[in-house]
Structure 1
């Protein structure tokens, strides 16, 4: 018998809206705290005696730590529930972001960034699993893309905070204030914990001793797990290689001031928000694989335009920046829906966390390569080549993965309950 989303265990529409709000707010706050690093990087390097190459290592190790944290949180979410773990990770990344403000040297700075990375890694997969289980199959792409777009909102708040703080305080002190503000999102976690609940009672459909993580590597699931992880590497390799070094590129290679850097970043953020939302509708209209392919091509083209085109005419530079944000961010918009559709309910958060966060951990070689190659071939050229290589590997993953548009992801939960 074929099941539909309506056949599965239900919650009210208000529960669904709260789940979307919880995941969206969590991901937006994730964007707020994470992107602070890119802005602070422009001034903290000389203050703490950190080279560009070491900055690349900080980014890389933080992303690797997020892979570990993400997998652990995914497994916990499949065992203890989505909402409970989502609350923990929001508190974690808020506190460790604030503690970064206390760093006095490179080892301390690295320690806090790595610990923030552990908590940061858990948010996306847990929130995406929660929302995917509430959303109708025909709308899953756009709803999950909306949640993804909240990252751009957090990035916008981070940019506004950067502009405000750095305009009124000396740079050597302002970066500490920027990180200290990162503790504020912790208060949101308590609201989420009290108002949001899971769609599925995992304990009712899975034996306590069932190893949810090991299920990812069984004969029937291993191929999907590995290919989904490769896709995660490629998507995030493009994203982080572009946006971690964006403020530094604008300042060092374009010679822009704080205000000039913020202006271009605003345009990129607007493009990112539009790209996330647009990709969701395209995913629901034509499918997961063709949409990813389209945005991969657009990402490589827009990166090339951005780093190799002069910005003597600001209106041209702004237009290119918008396109860069649209494609380089929009290519990640379908990850939540696609990964949710590739893994079964009992190991969904574990699978999404593994593919997304191990993918992110290995994608750390992207920023690491940019930092290492940048001194030899230029920062912009390094970003372009890392993005192009990631896109080619992404096409390989897409060719081998199935199309999953309109898949009922809770059919297995119905079967187990019955």
Structure 2
């Protein structure tokens, strides 16, 4: 079993040094390149949350405006649907054409389409652009995670993947800061929500850096050259064949791979529905608290959003260390227990805004930080290089192909139950899945990445 310890730092009895030993400038370039792409994914997703309400005030007809919560949910749901479909297709493509090439295609696509959203003149136009933007944006995450996981040394890998995931938090923070700094009256007659989407075109410049700084994954190249197509390390030995099987079919052909991907998708579904439920209604709930306290809701909404995302960033940065210390299963259970507890506390709170800010920080720590970090750290450890991007994208984006309907349902719940707190609490109950599924999944802490 010599291959089990392909990294000398993992061999029994080997001296233990700092986790970053063995990292080279190449490793950091790859992380930074993937990180830049993921920053703007975070910006784009959260910019929608802030800009959508003002955009709908401009774009909805008088009749449509009578059911604004429905259209809020519909716009978010359509984005998730496009994200799910595009992410699944992009992840499959990354296992065929390579991680670097797919990442560049994805970034150029979503940057261009986000910028075009600024020119929307009706809800139908906005919805169509949100859908195609989702198609482009979905594949960036799985390609970046696969590339970092396959190039970083085993002991440093969980930390690197956690660092990469923090890019989403920093992007979300940038969106909150931009919304806070853009004048309420706009700039030069341009409405603030249009400026937010126009800024989303900037990531296209990142591709200039990616072309020269990043290298393709050697693990993926080796697997393709050697015609190794199995999805997990437990697959039955089979003759290597020159003709490559369809990667998504291979993920579901093997019983162990199928079990892993279905359980992980259930967890991803819990994360996706829960996060959108919590984050989508946080600005509106904050506005209600601010009005009750006699404060300006237009200031406190973005302020709480920033605090929420700072909490997530802290969680991202330490997730790899915590997951290694606790083990993957316990990390998952702790994460979803925290999501449940903090969501209940957040959406039943009626006290001071200062205390609510602390709750928002802790809620962001769990519902956005830890609840997404596990996918960056754990999924790469469950599948082999030939199907890693496919499996990761199915888990990450396949959940969105089911979850996209839930923001629409949440919009209906607001109308039926008369408040965003009820909608958020009902939808966030999905986190209970995270208390059950981890016990049926393999423990991968300390093991090398499957080849």
After TM superposition, the score normalised by the length of structure 1 is 0.92
| Aligned match of 1:44 | 55
- Equivalent of 2:247, from 207, 212, 232? 212
| Aligned match of 2:320 | 280
Kept in 2, the 8 Å contact 1:74–1:125? The answer is yes
- Equivalent of 1:61, from 65, 72, 78? 78
1:185 paired with 2:203, answer: yes
Moved more, 368-377 or 76-85: 368-377
How many pairs align? 406
Moved more, 301-310 or 242-251: 242-251
Kept in 1, the 8 Å contact 2:7–2:154? The answer is no
Structure number with bigger Rg: 2
1:213 match: secondary structure: helix
Q: What pairs up with 1:4-403 in 2 under 5 angstroms?
A: 4-6=5-7, 13-49=24-60, 51-167=68-184, 169=186, 173-200=191-218, 201=221, 202-206=223-227, 207=242, 209-220=244-255, 221-251=257-287, 254-255=290-291, 256-311=296-351, 313-329=352-368, 330-377=370-417, 378-388=419-429, 390-403=430-443
Moved more, 81-90 or 164-173: 164-173
5+ residue gaps, structure 2: 9-21, 228-241
Task: Judging by fraction of residues, say which structure has more helix.
Answer: 1
Once residues 45 and 168 of structure 1 are traced to their aligned partners in structure 2, the CA distance between those partners, rounded to angstroms, is 16
Kept in 2, the 8 Å contact 1:44–1:172? The answer is no
Once residues 266 and 384 of structure 2 are traced to their aligned partners in structure 1, the CA distance between those partners, rounded to angstroms, is 19
Moved more, 48-57 or 166-175: 166-175
Kept in 2, the 8 Å contact 1:60–1:364? The answer is yes
Cα drift, residue 259 of structure 1? 1.6
Cα drift, residue 250 of structure 1? 2.4
Kept in 1, the 8 Å contact 2:84–2:138? The answer is yes
Once residues 15 and 295 of structure 1 are traced to their aligned partners in structure 2, the CA distance between those partners, rounded to angstroms, is 32
Moved more, 349-358 or 56-65: 56-65
1:2 paired with 2:2, answer: yes
Cα drift, residue 168 of structure 1? 5.0
Kept in 2, the 8 Å contact 1:140–1:284? The answer is no
